[in-house]
């Protein structure tokens, strides 16, 4: 029996673990992929308070070390559901069941796909969702990035260091990224901005050889010869397996307020998996702290 089981090993889950451990609770973190979450793949984090520049991997590695040195436990397992019992919560995973007095769900979100023909078939063969992971494979070759937020622009900047031509394709004529990042990208000569446009087709049989881009204003199309396409069009939730213990909104995000509570006492949701207006590293760790404090208060009020 653990005091708190935390589902998700990103900044939210790790921050929750740290706060719970410092409150004297036993904590188990369940992660089905790799510790650190999405931010671990970011080569450059410049907006985390108190740290001018750091890589996402360095930041999450430091946070994980802090959690482990405080007594936290980690198990790599895929969570398949939660059962709310009368005297405990049971987290079901592919590696077995784990009992806890309280559970914090911090599962983040998964990459949203373009939804075009052959996207799945060419994933790993030119189509990628992680420039940090796969960018080096396309050194010296032209690539494209789809998206208009901070992640997309950071991907384009990273790829411009190794690719002769980087096309940045966005559906709108303005970017959602921070103004300083937009200004920076406009000054990089080998990045070509293609706005008011979307990718409608992928070319190539065994590997990506090019993309078809449609202009959403005049309907014209053109082909771009690229060997790599990096998709950075946001994220979508993966919360359906928890709908028996937490309410979801019409888009599948957890419909919980700033207190991170669900309709099930003792179960909390935190971070990017929650319906919210801002999804940033600082809001993720803030959610983790809030959920942990609430979980500790819940446990402290349980009958002995």
The DSSP 8-state label assigned to residue 137 in this structure reads G
Let me know whether 155 and 254 are in one domain. no
> Are both 184 and 260 inside the same structural domain?
no
Domain end residue (candidates: 201, 231, 261):
231
Residue 28 and residue 14: Cα distance in Å, rounded? Answer: 10
Q: Are residues 224 and 274 in the same domain?
A: no
State yes or no: is 134 an active-site residue. Answer: yes
What are 186-198's pLDDT values in tens digits?
A: 999 999 999 999 9
Overall domain count for the chain: 2
Choose, from 75, 84, 99, 134, the residue flagged as catalytic. Answer: 134
Same structural domain, 101 and 250: yes
Same domain membership, residue 166 and residue 25 = no
Catalytic pick among 97, 133, 240, 259: 133
The region that residue 24 occupies, defined by phi over 0 for left and psi between -120 and 50 for alpha, beta otherwise, is left
Q: Known catalytic residue: 273? A: no
Domain that holds residue 162: 112-231
Final residue in a domain of this structure, among 231, 248, 274 = 231
Residue at 128 is within a domain: yes
CATH number, domain containing residue 286 = 3.50.50.60
Residue 53 CA from chain centroid, whole number: 20
Query: DSSP assignment of 65-103, as one string?
Result: HHHHHTT-EEEE--EEEEEE-SS-EEEEETTEEEEEEEE
119 and 219 share a domain?
Answer: yes
Spatial separation of the C-alpha atoms in residues 254 and 240, rounded to whole Å: 9
Whether residue 304 is contained in a domain is answered as no
Kindly give the confidence (pLDDT) of every residue in the chain, 304 residues in length, as a single tens digit, with 9 standing for 90 and above. Answer: 999 999 999 999 999 999 999 999 999 999 998 899 888 877 778 889 999 999 989 999 999 999 999 999 999 999 999 999 989 999 999 999 999 999 999 999 888 999 999 999 999 899 999 888 789 899 999 999 999 999 899 999 999 999 999 999 999 999 999 999 999 999 999 999 999 999 999 999 999 999 999 999 999 999 999 999 999 998 899 999 999 999 999 999 999 999 999 999 999 999 999 999 888 899 999 999 999 999 999 999 998 7
The reported pLDDT for the residue numbered 147 is: 96
Q: Point out the catalytic residue in the list 61, 84, 99, 130.
A: 130
Distance of CA 261 to the CA centre of its chain: 21
> What is the 3-state secondary structure of 234-293?
CEECCCHHHCCCCCECCCCCECCCCCCECCCCCEEECHHHECCCCCCHHHHHHHHHHHHH
Tell me the CA distances in angstroms from 188 to 34, 156, 167, 168, 198, one per residue in order: 33, 10, 12, 12, 22
| 204/295 same-domain check | no
| Tokens standing for residue 188 | 């990089």
130 assigned to active site? yes
């Amino acid at each position: 029996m653990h005091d708190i089981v935390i589902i998700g090993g990103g900044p939210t889950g790790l921050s929750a673990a740290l706060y719970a451990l410092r409150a004297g609770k036993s904590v188990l973190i369940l992660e089905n992929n790799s510790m650190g979450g999405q931010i671990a793949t970011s080569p450059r984090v410049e907006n985390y308070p108190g740290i001018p520049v750091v890589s996402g991997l360095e930041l999450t590695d430091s946070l994980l070390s802090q959690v482990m040195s405080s007594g936290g436990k980690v198990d790599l397992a895929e969570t398949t559901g939660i059962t709310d019992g009368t005297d405990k919560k049971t987290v079901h995973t592919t590696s077995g069941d784990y009992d806890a007095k309280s559970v914090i769900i911090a599962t983040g979100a998964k990459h949203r796909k373009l939804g075009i023909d052959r996207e799945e078939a060419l994933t790993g063969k030119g189509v990628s969702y992680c420039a940090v992971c796969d960018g080096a494979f396309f050194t010296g070759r032209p690539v494209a990035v789809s998206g208009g937020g901070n992640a997309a622009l950071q991907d384009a900047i990273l790829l411009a260091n190794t690719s002769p031509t980087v096309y940045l394709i966005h559906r709108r004529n303005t970017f959602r990224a921070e103004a300083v990042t937009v200004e920076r990208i406009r000054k990089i000569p080998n990045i070509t901005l293609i706005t008011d446009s979307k990718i409608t087709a992928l070319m190539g049989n065994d590997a990506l050889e090019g993309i078809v881009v449609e202009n959403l204003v005049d309907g014209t199309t053109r082909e771009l010869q690229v060997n790599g396409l990096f998709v950075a069009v946001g994220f979508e939730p993966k919360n359906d397996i928890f709908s028996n213990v937490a309410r979801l909104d019409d888009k599948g995000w957890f419909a919980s307020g700033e207190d991170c509570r669900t309709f099930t006492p003792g179960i909390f949701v935190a971070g990017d998996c929650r319906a919210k207006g801002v999804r940033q590293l600082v809001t993720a760790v803030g959610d983790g702290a809030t959920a942990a404090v609430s979980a500790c208060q819940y446990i402290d009020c349980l009958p002995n």
